Amino acid sequence: MSDKYDAIIIGAGILGAPIGFELAKKGWKTLNVDTLPAAGYGSTSNSCAHIRLHYSTYDGAAIAYEGYHYWKDWENYLGVEDERGLAKFVDSGCVLFKSELNNYLKPLCENFDKMGIKWEDWDAETLGKKIAILDPHSFWPVRRPDDPGFGEPSSELIAGAIFYKDGGYINDPQLSTHNVQRAAEAKGAGFRFNSKVVEIRRDGDRVVGVTLENGDAIDAPVVVNVAGPHSYIVNRMAGVEKGMNIKTRALKHEVCHVPAPEGFDFGKHGSITNDSDIGCYYRPVSRDHMLIGSVDPECDEHEWVDPDDYDKNFTEQWTVQVMRLAQRMPGLKIPNQAKGVVDLYDVSDDWIPIYDKSDLGGFYMAVGTSGNQYKNGPVVGAMMAELIERCEQGLDHDAEPLQFTMKYTGLTINAGFYSRLREINPDSSFSVVG
């Protein structure tokens, strides 16, 4: 069997599906190929699905601000109905704790001011009044429970926090990807599931298609790697890793789902919260449940894994994360049974994505998306579609990087910021915060 397309997108998650959608809107005949049974069934389905604007770099914050507007305008962006309904944006706002780790949020607030994003400055006393279940004392530095100082608050209060309202989360990340699939199909895009790519076929210095595990050959002059935690495997298959200064790996991560402290409606009053003073982020799941993740403090060891062979069970890290939050929330009870998700991040060397061409003609990448790019899926789809089209028309993106103007905010970003050839960005948080 041999099929021909204008572009093959490897992956049908929250980045892969929008790339197919945006190229199809340009008139391209596209096919998203995914090894899993449906769109968004990989790491997308286990995303915390935060829609937040706080990034340690201006470019990261700018593209996130654009992404926020896509989610607020979700129905119009899609332009179609989905028989399963549409994913919902929960407008919770975001609280960020100031700490030594994040330079007390000064660079972030400067970026917000440049973009016109409104934010509020809360001191420890204000934070305590706004969210009464929190202990406003500092527990810095971040520790593990076996450290003698763990759980002992400083005599000093935390340095404060900022709050901004333009943020929240998506209630069902897998459904959101299915929504994009339906929108893409309405524009003529194709999707093929339960199909593993085993070969990137090339003719000299050009890609010509892919071969699937069942032997099917699919031809296309453009192939886009959006394979999430498997991205480095696909890049090696294509032979493009040697031409990349920044590479990717798969990192195991655990997210805890626990009951919220009693007497506090977390669904109504809770926000996405990044508490770098204790090394955790957390958000509501419902009125009486919440999730807890790690912001990768130095005292936690990274577990780099083979995405096809890793332990999917919870480890002591689950308990560590819940105990850390229990410092901040004295009323938080620690369950004796771990619940939540164990999944993978697709992490670049500096935790900033690679949205780029490669040294192989026609082979493009949207990889290294770590765990912090869910919110950017729709805008990345638009940017990658323009990058691919322009490069195929002759743009030398390495020499003259694409300047991408975003439709909602009107901001222009240098797409070269996400180049595979960049040096490691010292402004990165080197964590899931990005």
Looking up residue 281, the CATH number of its domain turns out to be 3.30.9.10
429 in any annotated domain: no
117 in any annotated domain: yes
- Model confidence at 393: pLDDT above 80: yes
Same structural domain, 130 and 203: no
Provide the domain count of the chain: 2
**Segment 232-250 mean pLDDT:** 98
Same structural domain, 153 and 295: yes
Q: What is the mean pLDDT of the chain?
A: 95
**Segment 257-280 mean pLDDT:** 91
Q: Which residues pair with 346 in a beta bridge?
A: 250
DSSP tag of 318: H
DSSP strand pairing (7-10 vs 30-33) = parallel
301 in any annotated domain: yes
Same structural domain, 158 and 289: yes
**Segment 29-34 mean pLDDT:** 98
Same structural domain, 157 and 280: yes
Same structural domain, 48 and 144: no
Report the range of poorest mean pLDDT among 262-266, 297-301, 421-425: 262-266
Same structural domain, 290 and 177: no
Over residues 160-185, the pLDDT tens digits come to: 999 999 999 999 999 999 999 999 99
Domain stop point among 329, 347, 365: 347
According to the model, what pLDDT value does residue 434 have?
A: 64
433 in any annotated domain: no
133: Cβ–Cβ under 8 A, 6 or more apart, which residues?
Answer: 261, 263, 264, 329, 330, 331
Q: Which uninterrupted H or E stretch holds 9?
A: strand 7-10
Same structural domain, 176 and 82: yes
423 in any annotated domain: no
Same structural domain, 301 and 274: yes
114 in any annotated domain: yes
Name the percent of the chain lying above pLDDT 90: 90
- Model confidence at 6: pLDDT above 60: yes
According to the model, what pLDDT value does residue 1 have?
A: 42
**Segment 215-241 mean pLDDT:** 98
For 36, 226, 299, 314, 399, the CA distances from 186, given in Å and listed in that order, are 22, 21, 48, 40, 36
Domain stop point among 292, 321, 347: 347
Looking at residue 40, which CATH number applies to its domain?
A: 3.50.50.60
| CA 14, 15, 16, 22 torsion-angle sign | positive
424 in any annotated domain: no
**Could you count the other beta carbons within 10 Å of the beta carbon of residue 306?**
10
**Segment 391-411 mean pLDDT:** 97
Same structural domain, 132 and 232: no
Same structural domain, 343 and 212: no
Of 287 and 230, the one with more pLDDT: 230
- Model confidence at 2: pLDDT above 70: no
Over residues 291-302, the pLDDT tens digits come to: 999 999 999 999
Same structural domain, 263 and 339: yes
Domain stop point among 315, 347, 379: 347
425 in any annotated domain: no
For 48, 145, 164, the CA distances from 281, given in Å and listed in that order, are 10, 17, 16
How sure is the predictor about 253, in pLDDT bands with cuts at 50, 70 and 90? Answer: very high
- Model confidence at 428: pLDDT above 90: no
Residue 151 belongs to what domain range? 94-165+249-347
Same structural domain, 153 and 176: no
For 133, 387, 400, the CA distances from 403, given in Å and listed in that order, are 46, 9, 9
According to the model, what pLDDT value does residue 287 have?
A: 87
Name the percent of the chain lying above pLDDT 70: 99
- Model confidence at 67: pLDDT above 70: yes
How sure is the predictor about 128, in pLDDT bands with cuts at 50, 70 and 90? Answer: confident
- Model confidence at 366: pLDDT above 70: yes
Rounded Cα–Cα distance for residues 245 and 231 (Å) = 15
DSSP tag of 369: B
